């Protein structure tokens, strides 16, 4: 599976200001595969250490901050010579070895010539709980589930991918290409971007087999809750996760804790919610009272929660593959929530924080983006009918320079309103720039 993030890894490798790198991402998004592939294609040698699978690694790091000793011991153990600039060191599941995690600081300070990458499925949780972790001593990247462009690459739809990559304006595209891209987007929405699910589809083209893998991934995530969270928190984490489809099925998708448990209060679930956020399993979209810069100055207490992978969300709600037959069935399922979740998955890699706006009169803009010095409202539509009062109300109230709407329609541009197909949401950032 070719992943686009390898380009960022190559830039990191060649950066004169490079620091040890921490690669974050949810469980099973492909971090280990990507790092091994990066090592194989960009270095003469690669040493992979897994701190969850091998407890004997503790003896290398315990009690020493001396990088030369650590390097010597790793080299002897692995029977490999570690050469600065030519050897990649991968510390996987590094959250299980605090000394190894802290050694990144000493690599940066005393041996910056070495290329070190650390990763871990629950590394975000580990880092959030370590007040002593040295800020400014490492670089960070996040690997998300495969996006639609990566999905096209996996399906060997190279020409289609290049066509989208090279699209620079809002002129409509040939209908035959628009229809094919929309059809592939429906399949992507059902499968999602988890590499194993995509791989099974490539091998079998059997959506029943894909669903089995999706359910196995969901099951393994829940086992993580029991293994890595307290018993009380694990119960609450599962309750929040179970409530997500119910929250998204509401007309007003604002997250309410009473849907988690009748008597639930936000403060009782703060730790569990943060656990899911730190694990990369959910994304939070916060409501702003006014769409003005800086958006964080206008935050309200309201927010929505979306799942990190649309395919896994489809498995959670047992979405039938029959929804792929109709023109827009999969997108309109439970009040268009599959489409909104798809949009979040497309936007989050280039916009770490997402916002939305809702008026007192119930007008709502699904997403508000901050792009350099511009505020861009985005409305998401699940079909080809794009009539909306909300965009008009927003335009009258705030006089935006641009209104953006994503739907199943082709590209078009009318006045300040830009129409883009849902499959092009992944390119919104480059379009707006």
130-148 confidence digits (pLDDT tens):
655 667 899 999 999 999 9
pLDDT above 70: percentage of residues in the chain: 98
pLDDT tens for each residue of 206-230: 999 999 999 999 999 999 999 999 9
**For residue 4, what pLDDT is reported?**
98
The HSE-up count of residue 108 (CA atoms within 13 Å, CB side) is 19
Taking CA atoms, 265 is separated from 136, 270, 282, in Å, by 36, 9, 19
Taking the C-alpha atoms of residue 176 and residue 287, their distance in angstroms, rounded to an integer, is: 38
Confidence band, pLDDT 50/70/90 cuts, at residue 429: confident
Taking CA atoms, 421 is separated from 80, 125, 250, 383, 411, in Å, by 51, 36, 25, 10, 6
Question: Quick one: DSSP state of residue 146?
Answer: P
Average pLDDT over residues 168-172: 91
Strands of the sheet containing 45-50, edge to edge, are 45-50, 87-92, 115-119, 21-24, 139-142
Residue 190 clears pLDDT 90, i.e. is over it: yes
Residue 256 clears pLDDT 90, i.e. is over it: yes
**For residue 130, what pLDDT is reported?**
63
pLDDT tens for each residue of 52-67: 999 899 999 987 889 9
Taking the C-alpha atoms of residue 217 and residue 224, their distance in angstroms, rounded to an integer, is: 11
Sketch the domain layout of the chain as residue ranges: 5-142, 151-432
**For residue 233, what pLDDT is reported?**
96
Q: 150 preceded by cis ω (within 30°)?
A: no
Q: Which residue has the tokens 């495969």?
A: 146
User: Residue 20 — φ and ψ, nearest 5°?
Assistant: -50, 140
Confidence band, pLDDT 50/70/90 cuts, at residue 189: very high
**For residue 327, what pLDDT is reported?**
73
What's the pTM?
0.95
Average pLDDT over residues 93-120: 94
Instruction: Name the CATH topology of 5-142.
Output: Rossmann fold (3.40.50)
Dig out the tokens for 108 from the structure: 């940066």
Most confident of 5-19, 98-112, 113-127: 5-19
Confidence band, pLDDT 50/70/90 cuts, at residue 372: confident
User: Residues near 24 by Cβ (< 8 Å), separated by ≥ 6?
Assistant: 119, 120, 123, 124, 140, 141, 142, 143, 280
């Amino acid at each position: 599976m070719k992943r686009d993030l390898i380009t960022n890894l190559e830039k990191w490798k060649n950066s004169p200001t490079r620091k040890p790198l921490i690669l974050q991402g949810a469980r099973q998004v492909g971090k280990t595969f990507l790092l091994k592939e990066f090592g194989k294609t960009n270095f003469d040698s690669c040493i992979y250490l897994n701190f969850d699978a091998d407890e004997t690694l503790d003896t290398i790091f315990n009690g020493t901050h001396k990088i030369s000793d650590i390097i010597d011991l790793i080299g002897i153990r692995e029977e490999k010579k570690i050469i600065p600039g030519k050897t990649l060191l991968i510390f996987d599941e590094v959250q299980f070895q605090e000394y190894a995690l802290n050694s990144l600081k000493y690599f940066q300070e005393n041996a910056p010539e070495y290329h070190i990458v650390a990763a871990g499925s629950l590394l975000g949780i580990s880092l959030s709980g370590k007040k002593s972790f040295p800020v400014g001593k490492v670089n960070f990247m996040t690997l998300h589930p495969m996006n639609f462009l990566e999905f096209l690459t996996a399906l060997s739809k190279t020409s289609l991918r290049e066509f989208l990559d090279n699209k620079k304006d809002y002129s409509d595209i040939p209908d035959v290409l628009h229809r094919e891209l929309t059809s592939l987007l429906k399949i992507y929405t059902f499968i999602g971007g988890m590499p194993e699910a995509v791989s099974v589809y490539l091998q079998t083209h059997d959506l029943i087999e894909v669903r089995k893998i999706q359910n196995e991934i969901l099951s393994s995530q829940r086992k993580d809750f029991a293994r890595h969270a307290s018993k009380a928190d694990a119960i609450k984490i599962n309750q929040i996760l179970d409530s997500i489809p119910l929250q998204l099925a509401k007309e007003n998708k604002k997250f309410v804790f009473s849907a988690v448990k009748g008597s639930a209060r936000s403060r009782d679930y703060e730790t569990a919610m943060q656990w899911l956020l730190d694990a990369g399993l959910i994304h939070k979209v916060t409501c702003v009272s006014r769409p003005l810069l800086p958006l964080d100055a206008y935050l309200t207490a309201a927010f929505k929660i979306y799942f990190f992978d649309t395919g896994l969300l489809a498995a959670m709600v047992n979405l039938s593959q029959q929804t792929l037959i109709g023109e827009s069935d999969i997108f309109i399922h439970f009040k268009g929530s599959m489409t909104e979740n798809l949009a979040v998955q497309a936007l989050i890699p280039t916009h770490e924080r997402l916002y939305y706006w809702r008026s007192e009169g119930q007008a709502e803009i699904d997403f508000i983006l901050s792009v350099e010095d511009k505020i861009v409202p985005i409305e998401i539509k699940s079909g080809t009918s794009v009539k909306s009062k909300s965009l008009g109300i927003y335009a009258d109230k705030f006089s935006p320079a641009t209104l953006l709407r994503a739907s199943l329609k082709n590209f078009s541009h009318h006045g300040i309103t830009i129409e883009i197909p849902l499959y092009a949401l992944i390119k919104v950032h480059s379009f707006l720039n």
